[in-house]
Amino acid sequence: MSSPVTLTLHPSFQVAPVRRRTFGAFVEHLGRCVYTGIFEPDHPSADEDGFRTDVLALTRELGVSSVRYPGGNFVSGYRWEDGVGPVEERPARHDLAWHSTEPNTVGLDEFMAWAGKAEVEPMYAVNLGTRGIEEALDVLQYANAPQGIAYSDQRAENGHAEPYGIRMWCLGNEMDGPWQAGHKTAEEYARIATEAARLMRQEDPDLELIACGSSSSQMETFAAWENTVLTESYDLVDMISAHAYYSEKDGDQASFLASADDMDHFIDSVVATADHVRAKLKRDKRIMISFDEWNIWYQHRAESRPPSGDDWPVAPVLLEDTYSAMDAVVFGNLLISLLRHSDRVASASLAQLVNVIAPIMTAPGGEAWKQTTFHPFALTSRHAAGQVLDVRVTAPSFENTRFGESSAADAVATWDEESGALTVFVVNRGPEGEQALDADLAGFGDLELVEAVTLHHEDPYAANTQDAPETVVPAPNDSVALDGGRLVGALPAISWSMIRLARRA
């Protein structure tokens, strides 16, 4: 065993309160996320509205707080009106984003019904790609206005008399991406987003509006885009979006294991840019980050290639990655990064929820099961409470191509003063060797160990499948103990762990 992983933490080292919106997800009309994912009327578990109750139960178990809808790339060609009113009268249309046919069987009203059953907050994206300000206002009035005007009366006629009261609205999606329908320059997008925000606030002043940031930190426009967009829209928006996906590339396992280093840098860069605009404009308000797409995504795999030519299927198999134990460890580390930045990351959305690069998988007409990534998300969502603590980590380093050297361990903690609950989330992301854990917890008073669980597999590429859904699951870590106010234990190589402690009664 190498030199120990030492964690330095204290209840005074507070970052920000744990934000429930950190544990959001994403439902896009993409592949089988909606059809045979959340919605399958002929399924044995389907309820009276056609929603799979097994998926609803897993969504609640996952601990999802909010869900972004309906896209994604899909939204930039979407006509929201197609998805309301009598289902038999709704038109089918080609979705150019994913070369599929959208039947429009599920739309805004169905999504809101599902969100209520799933106990999640809705987050709605408007089409600023092929459409614009007028359509943004129309769907806002349909969703949120009291009866008495055309669109709210239409909602009532469709069986929904009361306003939905959707608070979070995304002003388009990835508008700097050349792949995006109606993609724009920073100046073009800044104008349309600012004017949409201005008029949407006149309709409903209490909205929380999210401007599009760069599609990724690797875009040539990154940071300059955020600067231009926020300079124009600063007074009218609350958040700017960030999107990031990670995967093992060309067998470079070490760089993949260090992916959270990139997320940390990405967030810090967006914060720096937003705060530059704040200083330039001499404003008191701080712009927050909506990290509304993040995940592991193997974009080079065959299942990530959409149909082509004359093939325009409904709900094709798309982006159905099977996640390994190592993927789950990196995934858990990304959650650590998001929590660590809770002072500026106000919302996040795991992309996506079901079947499409998702923690929940389904078989049409059959069962649903949990991917490896389900577990760190569910446990973090369930047990992160109170204040996020800034944990300083001392650990051996490992070399990797992308970052040079990275710490073999990473951690964050949450402390709930009222209940006396301390929860530590820690990864050993070193590709070789078990590491000893050591943390001085004297500053928290007299604690007792509640539980310690570790997600690890001897084969880092082991995965959960429909036939073997519990191949990779968290298991008790019996090495973890309290020894005279110190937390000690062992962390296997390529592992994610959660350690829960509580003030002794």
Residue 383 CA to residue 391 CA, distance in Å, equals 17
With H, G, I as helix, E, B as strand and everything else as coil, classify residue 230. helix
Tell me, yes or no, if 28 is annotated catalytic. Answer: no
DSSP secondary structure letters along 72-116: SGGGGG--GGGGSS-GGGPPPEEETTTTEEE--SS-HHHHHHHHH
Residue 63 CA to residue 466 CA, distance in Å, equals 22
User: Percent helix, strand and coil across the chain, each rounded to 5?
Assistant: 30, 30, 45
Alpha helices in 362-483 (DSSP H): 374-383
Residue 461 CA to residue 327 CA, distance in Å, equals 8
The distance from CA 225 to its chain's CA centroid, rounded to whole angstroms, is 22
For residue 109, give the amino acid letter: D
Residue 123 CA to residue 26 CA, distance in Å, equals 9
Contact 70, 355 (CB under 8 A): no
Tell me, yes or no, if 174 is annotated catalytic. Answer: yes
Between the alpha carbon of residue 276 and those of residues 228, 235, 251, the distances in Å are 11, 14, 38
Check residue 69 and give left, alpha or beta (phi > 0: left; psi -120 to 50: alpha).
beta
Residue 31 CA to residue 314 CA, distance in Å, equals 8
440 pairs with which residues across the strands?
A: 8, 486
Which listed residue (81, 102, 248, 293) is catalytic? 293
Which listed residue (40, 81, 174, 232) is catalytic? 174
With H, G, I as helix, E, B as strand and everything else as coil, classify residue 215. coil
Residues with catalytic roles: 174, 293
